[in-house]
Chains A and B, each alone.
Chain A
Amino acid sequence: MIKSLSPGRKIFLSLDYIFLISIAILCLIPMIHVLALSFSSNSAATAGYVKLWPIGFNLKSYEFVTSEPSFLRAMLISIKRIALGVPINMLLTIITAYPLSKSIQKFKYRKWYTWFFVITILFHGGLIPWYMTIYKTGLIDSIWALVIPGAVSVYNIIILLNFYKGLPEEIEEAAFIDGAGHWIILWIIYVPLSIPAIATLLLFSIIGHWNSWFDGLILMNTTNKYPLQSYLQTVIVAHNFTIVSTKNLKDLSEISDRTSKAAQIFLGALPILVVYPFLQKYFMTGMVLGSVKG
């Protein structure tokens, strides 16, 4: 369609571009500011000179944060949590979504099971009974408390089962005639065909585990068992420094509170920034396919 644009259209389009680009920049400015702070010198940060570019560039804040044993320990716990939680999460999602995606002719009890799962997103017992249950099952202070109670994500199951439903039935029927059972059909046919959806859910699961902070805060009695986000909640948001090892408390006066917080915020977001490009590649297709049906 090669047609010259009318002047009004040209003005509208230029304004549209300017507006959207400004909005996009506005989204990132707070983060860029904090990143600049983290690389700035103590005095420049405290005096409020730093805007969007570091002043008095140095890496002292990062050296301080990465030499802090409690920070590293919390980061390790987060990594451990992902290593345990994500595979369990994905396995459960993959195998649970399969029977629920079947028609009632193929799986008679599908409706019963679906309601059993959906009721849990409609009704909650609330904070205290939830805590009591985890306490009674003996998970308090254990890494499994961060993995097992949230292992079944009904939202993810719904996304994947809707994706499964879109797969052609003929392949499955052919495999069935060839003697394949449901387990084989699931692993040989469904899983390979659902890679975009599974990749999306995998990344969501990683991010979900990385970003969780409240369960760590409430289910761990000792702060040295906190995952990173719970640790950062305590140090940055609640200003509770008792969690930081005493040896380093002396250094804290030498390094600006502001720049070290900025460095911790950036390090806390770094894994998200690393997986973000992969995430973007998949989640557009995966999300939309799972949520919007024809």
Chain B
Amino acid sequence: MNRAKRLREIPMHVMLLPGVVLLLIYSYTPMAGIIMAFEKYIPSKGIFHSQWVGIKNFIFLATLPGIFGVLWNTVFIAIMKIAAGLVVPATIALLLNELRQQFVKRCIQTMIYLPHFISWVLLSGILLDILSPSRGIVNQLLSSFGLTPVFFLGDKAWFPYTMTITNTWKEFGFGTIIYLAALTAIDPTLYEAAIVDGANRWQQTWHITLPGIKGIVVLLTALSLGSVLNAGFDQIFNLYSPQVYKTGDVLDTFVYRMGVINMEYSVATAVGLFKSVVSFILITASYKLAYKYADYRIF
């Protein structure tokens, strides 16, 4: 019997085999490749024959001027994006939930989901045009109100906020989906009972709707902890320029320039390793929190 059971499991091992092999090669081998961070890696010598230097690359990084600025920029931009990404979609979902004309509601949803599906390359092309200080439509509008033009993408002070606002523009609509799902899951008899008890709309929102989506807010907050070192490479890489490096350079763009442009492979890998380790700790913690406070499991 036991043997028959084992035999019956064989096809399932076969089904998993291609995925396992591909991940071994393209996910686990790069994980082993992080030993480059402890070497003075020279491509012609390869990983096994390059000189072992211990934590020298990390010491070099720690003494690099501007590295803590990069770290700060990363966390600052990421946290602003996370906060906006929690508050804006929740608010819009609550407002959408009040609409009674399904057709209007659907049209609005269709319109606000769209930017999520357009790549950052194309959206950057659009933003570079509309935010241009000389000819962009946004600054034309500002001038028509008598305001001075703002160089949203070239001004150090503005850049992190421009990133947050444009990222919110792209993602808030898509973010409402999960809240709308939570809102439709609220038992309608609760509202009926509240109406019988004489509760007005505000009281219904306060005592039924908000508690109804509390769970999902807690869950998304806990899970977002894992992305505080992800400031959004796709967006920043396509929109930043040397004049905003001081406030806009983040870990991922720094790794790219170090590794791909300057060909400092070991140093770039060291930064990457730092990011991976911290992110790993944060993601694990966030899943633990999500499990504890929202009873959430990913699988």
Contacts and interface: CB of A to CB of B under 8 A. Distances in A.
Interface string B7-25: 0110111011011101101
Contacts of B33: 125-126, 128-130, 132-133
Contacts of B9: 106-109
A129 B182 CA distance: 41
Contact of B108 (A24, A108, A130): A24
B107 A233 contact: no
Chain B contact residues: helix, strand, loop or mixed: helix
Contacts of A51: 137
B194 interface: no
A74 to B, nearest CB: 12
A231 to B, nearest CB: 9
Nearest to B265: A128
A167 interface: no
Interface stretch (A55-63, A65-73, A211-219, A242-250): A211-219
B58 interface: no
Contacts, number: 250
B115 A265 contact: no
Interface residues of A, number: 93
B122 A265 contact: yes
B20 A116 contact: yes
A137 B125 CA distance: 34
Contacts of B126: 30-31, 33-34, 265
A23 B27 contact: no
Contact of A129 (B36, B112, B178): B36
B149 interface: no
A161 B16 CA distance: 13
B298 A124 contact: no
Nearest to B134: A48
Chain A contact residues: helix, strand, loop or mixed: helix
Contacts of A258: 129, 135
Contacts of B26: 130, 133-134, 148-150, 152
Nearest to B6: A108
B30 interface: yes
Given A23-B112, A128-B269, A236 B125 contact: yes
B15 A125 contact: no
> How many B residues are at the interface, by size bracket?
35 or more
A248 B251 CA distance: 38
A241 interface: no
Contact of A28 (B11, B36, B114): B114
A80 interface: no
A100 B273 CA distance: 29
Contact of B16 (A27, A46, A96, A268): A96
Nearest to B88: A23
Contacts of B112: 23-24, 27
Contacts of A262: 129
Among B16, B181, B276, max chain A CB count under 10 A is at B16
Interface in A200-245: 207, 210-214, 218, 229, 232-233, 236-237
Contact of A126 (B28, B47, B273): B273
A276 B269 contact: no
A106 B12 CA distance: 10
B23 A98 contact: no
Interface in A138-196: 148-152, 157-158, 161-162, 181-183, 186
A83 interface: no
Among A13, A125, A148, A291, max chain B CB count under 10 A is at A125
Contacts of B30: 124-126, 129-130, 132-133
Interface of B: 8-9, 11-13, 15-16, 18-20, 22-23, 25-34, 36, 47, 92, 95-96, 98-99, 104, 107-108, 110-115, 117-122, 124-130, 135, 137, 140, 169, 173, 177-178, 181-182, 185, 201, 216, 233-234, 237-238, 255-256, 259-260, 265, 268-269, 271-273, 275-276, 279-280, 283-284, 298-299
19 contacts: A12-B98, A16-B95, A33-B137, A114-B299, A116-B23, A117-B23, A125-B27, A126-B34, A128-B259, A128-B265, A128-B269, A129-B30, A182-B11, A211-B119, A214-B233, A236-B121, A237-B238, A265-B126, A268-B121
Interface of A: 9, 12-13, 16-17, 19-21, 23-25, 27-28, 30-31, 33-34, 37, 46, 48, 51, 92, 95-96, 98-100, 102, 106-109, 113-114, 116-118, 120, 122-134, 137, 148-152, 157-158, 161-162, 181-183, 186, 207, 210-214, 218, 229, 232-233, 236-237, 258, 261-262, 264-265, 268-269, 272, 276, 279-280, 284, 287-288, 291-292
Given A23-B92, A106-B9, A124-B272, 18 more contacts: A12-B98, A16-B95, A23-B108, A25-B111, A30-B127, A34-B129, A129-B29, A132-B36, A152-B23, A183-B15, A210-B119, A229-B119, A229-B122, A236-B124, A237-B124, A264-B125, A268-B121, A269-B122
